[in-house]
Each structure stands twice: as C-alpha cells, then as structure tokens.
C-alpha cells in the first residue's frame, strides 16, 4: 500500500481536523475514524469525530466513542472521510457538506469518487479488507506509536468488514495486522462478541419475525425478508437492532443473493444486500443511489415499502435469471 505523499503532508499541515465516515456507520467506519483521531490528537492536532446521525449503541465500548459529535464544535480546516469517498454519503451536517473545507478521503470501496469541483485528496485501496488496514499504514507514516486504544479500534474495523475473518476479502495482510494488534491487549473473543454477536432480547424477537417472513426463490437463489414499522414498534426495536440480520438470509443453502428491507419511515426504506458466489450486489445498490462492496452493499429508497421491495426484487430477478 502506498500513501500519496501529499496526503501525509496535508494532514501534517492541518491543525483543526474533523474525521467522519458514511451514513449507517459500522465497525470499519467508526473504528477507522476513532483510530485516526486518536493518532492525530497524539500529534497535537485539534480533532473531532463526527457521526451526524449518532453512533450505534453497539460501538459505545470503543475508546473516545463518548466524544463523538453530531456537529463540529469548531470550524475545521480539513475534513477527513474514512471508509467513504463520497460527500453525498458522508454522515455530516448539511452546512459542512455544502461549505466543506479541503477533504481527504481514505477508502477501500472500489467506486468512482464523487468529488467534482472540490479541493480533494484521495487514497483508495480496493484490495484492503478494511479501511482500518489503511489507517494502520497511515499512522505508521505519521509516526504515531500503536496503543491499546488504537489497536482496539483497528481490530474492530478488521472483524467488522471481514465477518471475523471469514469473507473472501481476508488476506495474509489482514491476519498479520490482527496478530500484531493482539500484542496490544486486544481480546478477540470480547470484540467479536461486541461487534458481531451481541443482541438484545427484543432484537432477538425482531430476528424471529424476519426469519418467519423470509422468502426463498430457489431457482434464482434469491432469499429476502422485510421488516415493517409495525415489527419495530411491536418489539420495541429500531433499525440499529438489525445489524448482521441479513447474514441469516445469506446463510441459506442455495441462496446467491440475500436482501433485507427495513421500513424506517412511511417513505424511507433501507436495503441491505449480500451475495455469495461473486454476484455483484454493489452494482445493484448503486442503481438505487447506494454503494458498498461486491459481496455486501446497501441503499436507501425514499419510497413506500411496497414500491421499494417490488423495484429491487424486479431488478435482482432480472439479473439472476
Ligand atoms: Mn469498510
């Protein structure tokens, strides 16, 4: 991995830095953002991590997570996006999006960056299993020593994007980095539990509903399910509780593509897409304004649930048949 030299220079030259990631952030987004922020703070920079729509409870154990802000408390002279190279998908307040300072984007999603007309510096490594791998390289270049806090964040990033090292994006580099992080006191069982496994009882009941309503179209290899506003209301859950649910659909024998639709508002539907044998679900997500990786992607549609489900299934059925 080669960091553009100008990127390191730009970081060194900036003293008020905001680090942010994409909407619906997961472990790689949040872990990478916090790890970089801790490192930049050690270098004496004023740094804030932003999650404009709030940090999912699941990640509340991460160091510095209690200092994550919804809006910056100072005017930054640099905005760093991690795990995201698209200002439109960044989880930041509108005024910062419209009137952003220079931007550095550090990402491993293999998509065309969306940055026309802006002062941008880009570092994209599609072969990195997680953006966390890139942050480790960057912190080394910045001469920030590894610490237990940074190691916890980077390990969280790795296991989140590799499904605890079982997706195909896992490489020797991933394992080497994970091994080196264990030397800083990372507890692999504890982190895997907190990031991938932990589920409230209410969320378990929501999961039961998703499984009961699942549909399987074996001739296409399509497995999908829907959670409605009513499902969330009646179980006392929110969309945050659906993390990793779609993997149960993906696990179905014979499923090539798994889709989970969630009705968030009467006219807002979130969609998670997963695939097994190389089918590119990111290309489907992009058709609907979303993004992601070939095997794991997502999008949100400002449409009624019925419409969103019909549209996406129609697209998938056409591509799968
Ligand atoms: Mn990622």
pLDDT digits (tens, 9 = 90+) for 215-250: 999 999 999 999 999 999 999 999 999 989 999 999
Q: What percent of the chain has pLDDT over 90?
A: 89
Instruction: Summarize the confidence of residues 295-316 as an average pLDDT.
Output: 96
- Both 85 and 139 in one domain: the answer is yes
**Each residue of 24-74: pLDDT tens digit?**
899 999 999 999 999 999 999 999 999 999 999 899 999 999 999 999 999
- Residue 21 exposure: Cα atoms within 13 Å on the Cβ side: 27
Threshold 0.85, pTM exceeds: yes
- Both 148 and 262 in one domain: the answer is no
- Report the separation in Å between the CA atom of 28 and the middle of ligand 1, taken as the mean of its atom positions: 5
- Report the separation in Å between the CA atom of 279 and the middle of ligand 1, taken as the mean of its atom positions: 19
User: Which of the listed residues 168, 196, 224 is the one where a domain comes to its end?
Assistant: 196
- Both 82 and 223 in one domain: the answer is no
- Both 159 and 269 in one domain: the answer is no
Residue 113 has pLDDT above 70, yes or no: no
- Report the separation in Å between the CA atom of 297 and the middle of ligand 1, taken as the mean of its atom positions: 11
Joined together, the tokens standing for residue 306 give: 């019925």
Apex 82 CA angle, 77 and 87, nearest 5: 70
Confidence of residue 167 (pLDDT cuts 50, 70, 90): confident
Q: CATH number for the domain including 164?
A: 3.90.1640.10
Mention every residue, 6+ apart, whose C-beta is less than 8 A from residue 270.
24, 239, 261, 262, 264, 298, 299, 300
- In degrees and rounded to multiples of 5, residue 107 shows phi and psi of -150, 155
What's the pLDDT score for residue 112? 66
- Report the separation in Å between the CA atom of 247 and the middle of ligand 1, taken as the mean of its atom positions: 17
Instruction: Summarize the confidence of residues 138-149 as an average pLDDT.
Output: 98
- Reduce the secondary structure of 31-57 to three states and give it as a string: HHHHHHHHHHHHCCCEEEEECCCCCCH
Kindly tell me the number of DSSP H helices and DSSP E strands found in the chain: 12, 11
- Report the separation in Å between the CA atom of 218 and the middle of ligand 1, taken as the mean of its atom positions: 30
Q: Give the length of the chain.
A: 321
**Each residue of 247-294: pLDDT tens digit?**
999 999 999 999 999 999 999 999 999 999 889 999 999 999 998 888
- Report the separation in Å between the CA atom of 107 and the middle of ligand 1, taken as the mean of its atom positions: 7
Confidence of residue 117 (pLDDT cuts 50, 70, 90): low
- Report the separation in Å between the CA atom of 183 and the middle of ligand 1, taken as the mean of its atom positions: 23
- Both 60 and 86 in one domain: the answer is yes
**Which protein residues have a CB closer than 5 Å to ligand 1 (ion)?**
28, 83, 131, 161
- Report the separation in Å between the CA atom of 277 and the middle of ligand 1, taken as the mean of its atom positions: 20
Residue 118 has pLDDT above 90, yes or no: no
What's the pLDDT score for residue 226? 98
Under 8 Å between Cβ of 161 and 28: yes
- Both 125 and 268 in one domain: the answer is no
Instruction: Give the total number of structural domains in the chain.
Output: 2
- Report the separation in Å between the CA atom of 131 and the middle of ligand 1, taken as the mean of its atom positions: 5
User: Which of the listed residues 171, 196, 221 is the one where a domain comes to its end?
Assistant: 196
User: Which of the listed residues 196, 226, 250 is the one where a domain comes to its end?
Assistant: 196
Q: CATH number for the domain including 261?
A: 3.10.310.30
Q: What is the C-alpha separation between 153 and 144, in angstroms, rounded?
A: 15
- Both 218 and 190 in one domain: the answer is no
- Both 267 and 133 in one domain: the answer is no
| Residue reference for tokens 């006191």 | 185
- Report the separation in Å between the CA atom of 295 and the middle of ligand 1, taken as the mean of its atom positions: 12
DSSP secondary structure string for all residues of 123-159: EE-TT-SSHHHHHHHHHHHTTPPP-HHHHHHHHHHHH
- Report the separation in Å between the CA atom of 49 and the middle of ligand 1, taken as the mean of its atom positions: 17
Which range marks the domain in which residue 273 is found? 201-320
Joined together, the tokens standing for residue 160 give: 């989140």
Taking every pair of Cα atoms in the chain, the longest distance, rounded to a whole number of angstroms, is 58
Sign of CA dihedral 193, 199, 204, 206: negative
- Report the separation in Å between the CA atom of 39 and the middle of ligand 1, taken as the mean of its atom positions: 19
For the chain, the average pLDDT equals: 95
* Dihedral in degrees, nearest 10, Cα atoms 25, 292, 233, 314: 170
What's the pLDDT score for residue 214? 98
Q: What is the C-alpha separation between 51 and 92, in angstroms, rounded?
A: 7
- Both 115 and 169 in one domain: the answer is yes
What's the pLDDT score for residue 114? 65
- Both 40 and 157 in one domain: the answer is yes
What's the pLDDT score for residue 293? 84
The DSSP element (H or E) to which 273 belongs, if any, is strand 268-275
- Report the separation in Å between the CA atom of 55 and the middle of ligand 1, taken as the mean of its atom positions: 16
Confidence of residue 76 (pLDDT cuts 50, 70, 90): very high
- Both 44 and 177 in one domain: the answer is yes
- Both 68 and 25 in one domain: the answer is yes
What distance, in Å, lies between the first and last C-alpha atoms of the chain?
38
């Amino acid at each position: 991995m080669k960091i553009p030299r100008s990127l390191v220079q730009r970081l060194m030259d900036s003293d008020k830095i905001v680090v942010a990631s994409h909407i619906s952030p997961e472990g790689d987004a949040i872990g990478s953002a916090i790890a970089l922020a801790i490192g930049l703070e050690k270098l004496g920079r004023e740094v804030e991590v932003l999650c404009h729509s709030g940090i999912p409870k699941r990640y509340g154990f991460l160091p510095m997570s209690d200092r994550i802000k919804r809006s910056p408390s100072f005017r930054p002279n640099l905005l760093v996006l991690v795990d995201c190279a698209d200002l439109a998908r960044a989880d930041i307040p509108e005024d910062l999006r419209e009137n952003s300072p220079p931007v550095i984007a550090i990402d491993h999603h293999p998509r065309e960056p969306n940055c026309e007309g802006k002062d941008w510096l880009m570092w994209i490594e599609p072969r990195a299993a997680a953006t966390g791998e890139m942050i480790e390289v960057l912190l080394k270049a910045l001469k920030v020593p590894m610490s237990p806090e940074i190691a916890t964040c980077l390990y969280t990033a790795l296991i989140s994007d590799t499904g605890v090292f079982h997706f195909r994006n896992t490489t020797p580099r991933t394992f080497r980095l994970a091994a080196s992080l264990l030397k800083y006191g990372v507890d692999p069982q504890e982190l895997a539990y907190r990031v991938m496994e932990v589920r409230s009882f209410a969320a378990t009941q929501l999961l039961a509903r998703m499984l009961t309503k699942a549909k399987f179209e074996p001739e296409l290899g399509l497995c999908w399910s829907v959670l409605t506003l009513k499902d969330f209301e009646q179980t006392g859950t929110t969309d945050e509780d659906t993390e990793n649910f779609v993997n149960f659909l993906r696990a179905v024998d014979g499923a090539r593509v798994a889709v989970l639709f969630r009705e968030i508002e009467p006219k807002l539907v979130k969609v998670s897409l997963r695939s097994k044998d190389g089918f590119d679900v990111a290309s489907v997500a992009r058709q609907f304004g979303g993004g992601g990786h070939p095997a794991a992607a997502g999008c949100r549609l400002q449409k009624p649930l019925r419409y969103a489900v019909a549209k996406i299934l129609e697209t998938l059925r056409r591509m799968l048949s």
